[in-house]
């Protein structure tokens, strides 16, 4: 998994897996913003990511390097 390293600022989550040839295949998952995703679950056929309503405030991260930079937005 990775966060926000694509040329599209709207994509914030990637799922990656290696194919049978050993190549990394990344699949972007569209999410509404930089939400806090600290856990996930895997089954035989699915990956479930918990999209929690804590959204990262990018402006805050740039201005103040330490501290909590999230906002609780349950309707986002």
Residue 38 labeled ligand binder? yes
CA torsion 27-46-2-52 (nearest 10°) is: 120
CA torsion 71-68-11-16 (nearest 10°) is: -130
Joined together, the tokens standing for residue 8 give 């599209």
List residues forming the annotated binding site for Fe cation: 38
List residues forming the annotated binding site: 38
């Amino acid at each position: 998994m990775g966060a926000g390293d694509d040329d599209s600022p709207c994509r914030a989550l990637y799922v990656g897996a290696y194919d049978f040839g050993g190549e990394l295949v990344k699949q972007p998952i569209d999410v509404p913003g930089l939400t806090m995703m600290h856990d996930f679950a895997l089954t035989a056929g699915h990956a479930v990511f918990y999209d929690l309503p804590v959204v990262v405030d990018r402006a805050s991260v740039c201005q103040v390097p330490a501290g909590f930079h999230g906002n609780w937005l349950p309707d986002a």
